[in-house]
Every structure is written in C-alpha cells, then in structure tokens.
Structure 1
C-alpha cells in the first residue's frame, strides 16, 4: 500500500473518533494541521490544501490535506493530495502554492529531506528543494518527472539549502514568478525571487527583501500580490535560532509598496502587522471568484499546550479575510455571511454602565458580538466564555486608546493593542467572532485584528459587559448558534 492510500484509509477508519472540533473554523478531520497551502479558486470552488499529519496530533511527516468550499463555513473533505513518497520529499511535502495553467491545477511545494527528522538537527544533512505537481481535476496530483525544479543548481551562493522553502507562484504578463524564503549565510531571513516561462525551468531573479542582522529573524511563507493598485508583500517572522526564542515572537508582517518585476526590486513604503494576537501565522492569499483578495491563516498559539489527545485533532484556520489597502494600511474584513449564519440583532442601545455594573448576555456555543463605543466613553471590559470566575477578558480603555486581552484559559500571556481609533469615525467598533476554541476580534472594520486560541474543555458560553469609569456603549449586537 502506498503512502497516499495508507493515509486516506486511516482517515476513513478513524475520523469518527475525533471530537470537540471547531464549529465554523476549518479544522482537519483527524490529526495535526498547520500552514494553509495552495489556496486558490479553481473550477467553481475554493480549494484549501494544508500541511497535514493524520496519524497523531503532533507535527511529523508532512502530507498535503485537501478540502473545498463555496462559503468558507461548509467544507467538503477530499482525499489527501500528496504524501512524502519520493526521495526528494522523503521527510515532508512542505508548504507551497497553487496556480492554474492551461486548465490544469499546478502546485509548487518544498520537498524536505532530513534523515534525522525528529532528532537533533544536522543542518549539513538537511535539504529543501522546490517541486511541481499537477492535476487535471484538482484532486489527483502527479509529481513532475523533473523534480526538484529549483535546488542547489539554481540557488546562488550565500544562501543555505537547509532553510529554503514556501514557494508562492504568481503570473505577471505571461511570466511566472516565485517568491521563496531562505536563510542567508549570516543566518538571517531573506525573500528571494525566481522566474520561469513554463513552471519547470526556473532561474534566480533577485532578492526582494532582507531582514537585518540585528532583528534575529528568519522569514517564512512569503506572499506577493496586488490589491487596490498597491503591491503587498507578506511574510511570517520567527526566531532565526533557538537562543532568540524569548526575544522574537512568531508574527506575520506586511509591506505595502511597489514591485518592479522586470528589475526584481521591491520598494516598501509602509509596514504593519496582520494580527496583534499570538495565534496567526503562515497566511496565504488568493484572488476570489469576484476578483477580491482573500487571505486565510493558521491559528496556532506558539508554546501553548496541545489540545487533549482524546480530541483527536490539533490545528484550525482563521476566518477568511478580505483585504483592501485603505489610507496606506492593509485592512482585513471577515469573508463569511455573518448575517445569515448568526442572525445577529441589536440587544442594547446607549447603554451606560457605572463602575463595576454588569450586563449579562446569555451566550451560545458560537457567536458574533459587536460593540460600538463613542470615543467619549471611558473604560469597560468584555468577558467572553464566562464560566464561574473564569473568562477571556477584553479591557477597552477608550480615553487612553488601548485594548488589553487576557484569559483564564490557555497558557499565560497578555495581548496589548494601542491606537484603536485611527479612523475618522466618531466611534470605535469591535466585532468579535467566537468559536469553540478561538476568538477573532476585528477593530474598526478590520483596521487591526486580534486572534486568540485556547483548547480548554471547561470554557463557558456566557458573555458579560462590565463598566469601568464613564463607560458608555452606543450599540450592542449579538447573534449566537
């Protein structure tokens, strides 16, 4: 039995043992999931591939899982698309992207070779090379006979083949470009670009972004696209070596600027964070069916305790986010039908809470909560998943323009967001999407986003608003299911 058959048979035989999966955030049928891969709209549906290990809830040999959707809430799971069954990807089919060419769906991924996988790393024995596979139907894939198509021959001197991964392929004026993350000889992260006319023969083009030595960062999962006439470069940041783990958080950044493809030069104008939480990484974007730019990311809280093993799964995706550039800022809005799914309604208008006064909302397992606050308001706290003395707390200090998130669930760690009221509106709007193991907060229609995850069993459903000094809430909207 080959590896693909083995994985698919295991899933079918064991998936019914899985429990406590998220309700409307995508998660694997069984086992471990991390980065989104090959996110694309193809033959009338959105295809999401993902880093996948079906046999346990911990990271191991990476396969490519596969599912499709039309609305990002109802998903159809398809057979595993790829397994690590070739010499060039023997220890994992790592992350990559998808592109349509001549009616076929092509995916480009990193073939990972590490004979010591699971044990101490020996960098001189690790190789990451880029590979191609194609499909007539978007379901069954054939790996190209010339794989790997980008390896030591194409990678210039000064870069390390042991950290050379995550190809994102785009087409511009009949030319294919691929951005990749790589570790340079100084052991720091760079984003480099290759080009091709046929997706098979690739040549090095340029280096388009370099982290500084002092930042101590390795870069992963680059993405390059145009939205609202601006070029946007995304990448995830992580410590370049273990000794910097406490100093360098795992985050995802964006650069807005101008990409000159002919010269291979990216000129950044503005930089920002995609998410201010501790739980959003390795996102990938695609063009939606109506031309919009959509993004989805892996929700994973680094150094957090895994879910209970008896859950049978580990990992979930964020809500899809529609991207726009507004006032030189990358704005993200949830791309699901909030009205039809949650049926939210106004449950309070012009609510004034004295210090310590409580407003209770009977919550359901999942929910959408929106709180609109005038900029003249004072402090208040939103308590979510309340059960006894436990809750996840979002304290909003309007006067000082700051938001603090803390929780009695999950591992310790606080999140602070400053400069809430950057828009010209007289109000601050907080839109919260609550699922079984996650909260996503969109501030001012996505000017800033905060995500949070916790796999605790005992989280409550109820919601409480608690007044602080001069708390005034203009409108409260809630819908649960």
Structure 2
C-alpha cells in the first residue's frame, strides 16, 4: 500500500523538503513543550549557509507539523556569549517556569561557559523575548575540565534530595566525558568530582542526552523520573564520526553514576539512533500526550560550495516517539502521530506476487514527497539463506555492506528502489535480507546510497507469520 503525502508547505525550490522543518535559508543544526505550544530552538547562522555567527533561532507550533517563525530567542550580546550561543537545553522548573541552559563562547580561543536565559513574559504564549541575567556565566570550567571542549548542557533533572543535576559533554585527551553538575537553586552549580559517565578512546562527546524510559509501559517519562520500572538512556554525538550513539543502563543517584547494561557498547561499535545522516539529536518529554519525542538534525551530503550557492543547508528530521523495546535491549522509534495529517492522495497496489528478479513500478505518486507503507509476506521461510556464525562478529552495517543489494539470497534481497530514474540508471535501494540461524530467523534491513549503508536487525521468532 502506497500513500502520497501533502507537503506541509509549497516546495518551490529544487531539493527543499516538503514536510521536514527547515528555515527559509542559511545553516541550521532544544525543543520544549510549554502552555500548549511546542518550541523549537535551533542553531542558526543568520549570515550564511555555513557554520558561524550562531544564534538560537526560535519557531513555535501547535502540532509539530505547522511552524511559525518568531524572533531569535538568544543571540550574542554579552561578554559571556560574545562569540556565539551554542547548543543547550530547556528545562521547565516548578511553578511552570522555563529556563534555557546554553553554551556561550567568550573569546576567539573558543573558551566555553554555561549560561542561562529566562522568558521576559510568561504570559506570552510564544515566549518571544528572553532575558540573559547579568550573573552569567553560572558554570565555568575548572582545572579538571578542558574549557575548549565543554558544551551542550542537557535538560536538568531533579533528584529526591532536592538537587538539580545536568550533564555537559567534553573530553579529557581521548576519553569522552559527561561532566556532572548539581545545584539547589539552578543558579549556583558545583561539579561532582567524577563524571556521570565516560569512556576512553571515543573522543569528544557533543550534545549528550540523558533521560528515563519506562520498562513496562509505552508512556514517556518526565526527565526526573526514577524507580524500579525505569531504565535510563545515555546518548552522545561523537565528534569523530558525526553520528549519534546510545546505551541503555541504570542510573544510581546515590552514587551519582550511570552504568550501561553489560551488553551495551560505548562508541562507534555501539547502538545508533539512526544509520543515515542523523546528528546532534535532542529528546524532550511531551506532557500533553505523555510521550518522549526524539528530534535529530541531518546535514546534507553535498559540498559547502553548493550549500552557499543554494543558500541553505540541513534539515530537522521528522520528530519521533521513542520507547523501550520489550526485550530491554534497544529503543523503538516511530514518526509522531501528527504526521498522519499530511497524508493525502492514496495510491494502492495489493496482492502483487513478485518473482525473482522482477521489478514493479508504482505510478501516480510524486517520488520526492511520498509516504510508503509496504508489507511483504511469504508462504514459507524455508529457503532463507543460512546465517554464517562468523557474521555474529559483524555489526549490521558491515553485514549490509558485505551482502549488498545485488547478491542473491534464498529469499531476497527484496524491497524498494527509491529515487529511481526512469530506466533505473540511478536509484537508492531499501531492501531486506532473511537469514536462517539455529533457532530463529534474522532479518537485515539495509539502504545503500552511494555505498552508504542503513541497517536494522530484527529477529523473527514465529516462522509461520512474518510481516514487515
């Protein structure tokens, strides 16, 4: 079944997105829900389509789909952010008072400090004007902290002891660091002598995110939630690879440490939110629908010269709800339900039997603006190719690259050819491969765009009922 979507706005320039959030021009890179509105603050260069001159641009929405641009929330104007207002987070304090926590650049050496800002008028539903108090900065790197890699404070969480805590990314030599700070009043912060978490050999940690997920429910949790049926997610954006990685584990507030589960891997061999262009993501709790929303940013694969020529670069990806998989070993993501409102003209192909090597074209949709639901089913999985035990040493991304979209298997590869030219000189395959292991089947989902590989591995336990 194929469903075409109506773009959220008219697309008048080639390659611009129809329903991803994207400013009208220039370069983009902490969301929040407050009093009926979603607020998106984003890194933005008002002077060009490259990095530099960074401000916190600001847009608001009722539904996470249709956005209204409002004046920039934060821009360099004080000694404590004279050379840039870099990433951070928003926290809603008791009494329904939002606070922005952000990294300020104070000199040409990129010395980084942590500042805060508060709304000038809480009765303004758009929260257009923000004040940066003169007691900034409120966190300054000490001798233990590398002051040039000290940025991106997380949403703060409130402990049962009455202290607020936040973690800030950085590094010591080649060790990635999540520095931990605590405060009673959200103004005076003290560094905990050990990090919340760290890992050697991973390089600089950018844009950390730390949040709880429910073990027995699909509901989202407030960032301060803790308890017996709660696990925690720790995510970092690795400066060395430009991807987002996460682990699942346990937060021990009495020890002020996060410990990943024993099967988790920190760094580039670990779990990723996404195997496409996905970086500098941020999650937030949406109390209006009791869900946690994950939002990432995608840089583009073209050159800087092309970005400058067309006048913009990058998009915010579609927001996703995120929950813990029932197996407790990974997160599950799905586009927010509001995206359904964009679905328009329906084009359907049903009960089509595909033979080996057959390709079927879908007519009546605009390829660049299509939302596709597809289900593949089989009478039997007996012909699935054997899963070589040596492949267990490979992560899914490497296995996708090894097998590819053209190497024949017992039940595949099969899937979709997207962005295909008329005679298939060019296309991006999104395809599946099925393997038969000892007691179950393994399914590999890959995408191959100019040798770039996207992958998800799932296990099929019921061999007689397999649907994707």
Counterpart secondary structure, 1:309: helix
Match of 1:235 in 2: 236
Q: Does 1:143 pair with 2:132?
A: yes
Q: Does 1:106 pair with 2:93?
A: no
Match of 1:383 in 2: 417
Match of 2:444 in 1: 402
Q: Which of the numbers 208, 222, 247 marks the counterpart of 2:208? A: 222
In structure 1, what is the Cα distance between the partners aligned to 2:283 and 2:164? 17
Counterpart secondary structure, 2:342: helix
In structure 2, what is the Cα distance between the partners aligned to 1:30 and 1:106? 28
Would the alpha carbon gap of residues 370 and 97 (structure 1) be closer, same or farther in structure 2, given more than 3 Å must change?
A: same
Match of 1:457 in 2: none
- Once the two structures are superposed, residues 123-142 of structure 1 have per-residue CA deviations (whole angstroms, 9 ceiling, x without a partner) of xx331100011103422111
- Compute the displacement of 1:423 (Å): 6.7
- Compute the displacement of 1:417 (Å): 2.1
Match of 1:368 in 2: 371
In structure 2, what is the Cα distance between the partners aligned to 1:277 and 1:306? 25
Q: Does 1:131 pair with 2:131?
A: no
Which ranges of 4 or more aligned residues in structure 1 deviate by more than 6 Å?
16-19
* Native 8 Å contact 2:247 2:271 kept in 1: no
- Compute the displacement of 1:398 (Å): 2.5
In structure 1, what is the Cα distance between the partners aligned to 2:447 and 2:42? 29
- Compute the displacement of 1:317 (Å): 0.8
- Once the two structures are superposed, residues 45-65 of structure 1 have per-residue CA deviations (whole angstroms, 9 ceiling, x without a partner) of 111100110221111111001
Match of 1:333 in 2: 334
* Native 8 Å contact 1:84 1:92 kept in 2: yes
Would the alpha carbon gap of residues 291 and 404 (structure 1) be closer, same or farther in structure 2, given more than 3 Å must change?
A: closer
In structure 2, what is the Cα distance between the partners aligned to 1:260 and 1:203? 19
Match of 1:26 in 2: 21
Q: Which of the numbers 180, 195, 216 marks the counterpart of 1:193? A: 180
* Native 8 Å contact 1:17 1:312 kept in 2: no
- Compute the displacement of 1:218 (Å): 1.6
Counterpart secondary structure, 1:267: strand
Q: Does 1:182 pair with 2:170?
A: yes
- Compute the displacement of 1:321 (Å): 0.9
In structure 2, what is the Cα distance between the partners aligned to 1:266 and 1:302? 35
- Compute the displacement of 1:296 (Å): 0.3
Identify which range, 41-50 or 170-179, moves more after superposition.
170-179
Would the alpha carbon gap of residues 41 and 416 (structure 1) be closer, same or farther in structure 2, given more than 3 Å must change?
A: closer
Match of 2:65 in 1: 73
- Compute the displacement of 1:198 (Å): 1.6
- Once the two structures are superposed, residues 369-410 of structure 1 have per-residue CA deviations (whole angstroms, 9 ceiling, x without a partner) of 122223634322411122232222223222473333223xxx
TM-score (norm 1): 0.74
Q: How many residues align?
A: 383
Would the alpha carbon gap of residues 18 and 42 (structure 1) be closer, same or farther in structure 2, given more than 3 Å must change?
A: farther
Would the alpha carbon gap of residues 285 and 416 (structure 1) be closer, same or farther in structure 2, given more than 3 Å must change?
A: closer
Would the alpha carbon gap of residues 130 and 295 (structure 1) be closer, same or farther in structure 2, given more than 3 Å must change?
A: same
TM-score (norm 2): 0.76
Q: Does 1:427 pair with 2:414?
A: no
In structure 2, what is the Cα distance between the partners aligned to 1:164 and 1:104? 26
Q: Does 1:171 pair with 2:171?
A: no
